[in-house]
Structure 1
Amino acid sequence: MLAEVTTAATSYYRRTSPTTFAPTEHVQGAWRETEQHMGPVSGLLTHALETTSPRPDLQLCRISYEILGVIAADESTVEVEVVRPGRTIEMLEARMIIGGRTAVRATGWRLAIGDTAAVAGGQPEPLPAPNTWPSSDISTFWSGGYIDSLDFHIDPASEPGSCRAWLSTEIDLVEGEPSSDLARFTALVDAANGIAARQPPKEWLYPNTDLTLHFFRTPRFAEDDHRVGLDARAIWGPSGVGLTSTTLYDAAGPVGRAEQILTVRPMP
């Protein structure tokens, strides 16, 4: 269950052993009060991938999460292994296990770092500066501890199915532990499906069953600016399946893309 903490909790998780983590109220999902939002989960698993057999000569540039069921808001065990070691290419796998069942599986590709600045190109245009758009209250549309932990600045020209926004949080990933810019960045990306929603969540269900992130540049935060930029587009097909595609930004410009496959159905 959610850790016995007050609303003054400053982290999404508390480490309870070398491989176990207790969630705080800030992980609470939007669909059910007793589940975790995928946002903090993805950040925690990125943290685990990065800190397992670290390779400063390789960069973690693709992370694919498979959501294998409801992510209960209970203590979890996180297991990580290198499944494909290599000199210039390496794959890892992380698993979040809750109640003896794997709830989320993440695979990550590490690729060799090299100087390709002379041939770099093709990036999308940057988003307007984070302070361009006003602070936005989305509590009438979405609820839950995780959503409450975020600060949203949304483009006023956004509409159902298409949204541009900057997100940030003051909440740490794991209590008392430093985490990388990449881990903190990934903890906010899953919100893309929510901000690009085509219909109200009180009328339709459209959870994503996966999240895949591709980074052509590792996200970096300025010391006083930890905002994540999202340019999200949601497509709902005619047979109960949808897709949310998002271009990802830090304050310096675009860093990659995210894809989320959705199961779409009317609220029973």
Structure 2
Amino acid sequence: MSYFSRVSDHSYRANEHTGGAWNLAEQHIAPSFGLLAHAIEMDRDARGNGHLVTARLSYDILGTVPVDVVVDIDVRVLRPGRTIELVEAALTYQGRGVVLARAWLMKQYDTAAFRGSGLRPIPPPQDLPAWDPSRVWPGGFIASAEVRRAEDEPGRAAYWVRTSVPLLDDEAVSSLARVAGLLDIANGMTVRVDPRQVAFPNLDLTAHFFATPVGEWVGFDTAVSIGPSGIGLTHSIIHDETGPIGALSQSLTVRPGAGIG
């Protein structure tokens, strides 16, 4: 079974693998991020702009949504162009906003001669031990993820994630959409505080890519920070098996006395 099944051109049913982690009755938002990326790419291709690649994905989480319901996605172009576009996609449930996504799409140029990064690679997945995130988090989405992790300390770790669950039934998706559907797992793979006692859900996620991901694994080099007044940040460098390919950040609302429920 996939994370979503297509119901119509713009509607999708969430399956049991989308469940958790803060509340088992609600979807983990990560698969929806992948679905929105897929919808943006489908709209791009339908408009004849398949030569553009995604340089940034930015998601604002407007609310929660139950598991096993039908959600709708609408896509619109905010800034059209042949070399640069800004596209927006809204995911709604019964007319209520759940996630608002924006993507910058850019024309590709041959810059192979200048390729390089000052970002440090992390050990490959085969060099890190298997780790079961279900020991910390409940829910179908977390259970669907295979993780290999090396934690330096609470709130600081390098890890790799992959899943055998497809984003959609009987529908091919790009490597970018597949990776986008795993990005939100970063806020939870190296916790600084016990999530049974302190809630720290993220309000958003912004990912910048300087290379298109390849391979089945996506890697993270993650640091979690919590300030003195209820605001936190999870920041990660994104990797594929060729090395670093981008970065993501998630704003956290940190709530003592709350937690998994």
For the aligned pair, the TM-score class normalised by the smaller chain equals over 0.9
Measure the CA separation in 1 of the matches of 2:36 and 2:255. Answer: 29
1:196 aligned onto 2:187:
no
Aligned to 1:99: 94
Secondary structure, in 3 states, of the residue corresponding to 1:53? Answer: helix
Aligned to 2:83: 88
Q: State the shift of 1:186 in Å.
A: 1.1
Query: Which of 51, 55, 65 is 1:71 aligned to?
Result: 65
Measure the CA separation in 1 of the matches of 2:253 and 2:132. Answer: 26
Q: Which sits farther off after the overlay, 69-78 or 20-29? A: 69-78
Measure the CA separation in 1 of the matches of 2:257 and 2:212. Answer: 38
Measure the CA separation in 2 of the matches of 1:179 and 1:160. Answer: 34
Q: 1:107-118 alignment to 2 at 5 Å? A: 107-118=102-113
Measure the CA separation in 1 of the matches of 2:257 and 2:103. Answer: 34
Q: State the shift of 1:122 in Å.
A: 2.8
Q: State the shift of 1:39 in Å.
A: 1.1
Aligned to 2:238: 248
Given that residues 123 and 254 in structure 1 are in contact (C-alpha distance below 8 angstroms), is that contact kept between their aligned partners in structure 2?
no
Secondary structure, in 3 states, of the residue corresponding to 1:260? Answer: strand
Aligned to 1:167: 161
Q: Output the TM-score relative to the length of structure 1.
A: 0.92
Percent identity over paired residues: 42
Q: State the shift of 1:119 in Å.
A: 2.5
Q: State the shift of 1:139 in Å.
A: 1.8
Given that residues 22 and 75 in structure 1 are in contact (C-alpha distance below 8 angstroms), is that contact kept between their aligned partners in structure 2?
yes
Q: Which sits farther off after the overlay, 126-135 or 106-115? A: 126-135
Measure the CA separation in 2 of the matches of 1:200 and 1:103. Answer: 27
Computed over aligned residues only, the root mean square deviation of the Cα atoms, in angstroms, reads 1.1
Aligned to 1:23: 14
Aligned to 1:4: none
Moved over 4 A (4+): none
Q: State the shift of 1:42 in Å.
A: 0.5
Secondary structure, in 3 states, of the residue corresponding to 1:179? Answer: coil
Query: Which of 232, 238, 252 is 1:262 aligned to?
Result: 252
Measure the CA separation in 2 of the matches of 1:143 and 1:33. Answer: 7
Letter in 2 for 1:240: G
User: How many residues were matched structurally?
Assistant: 254
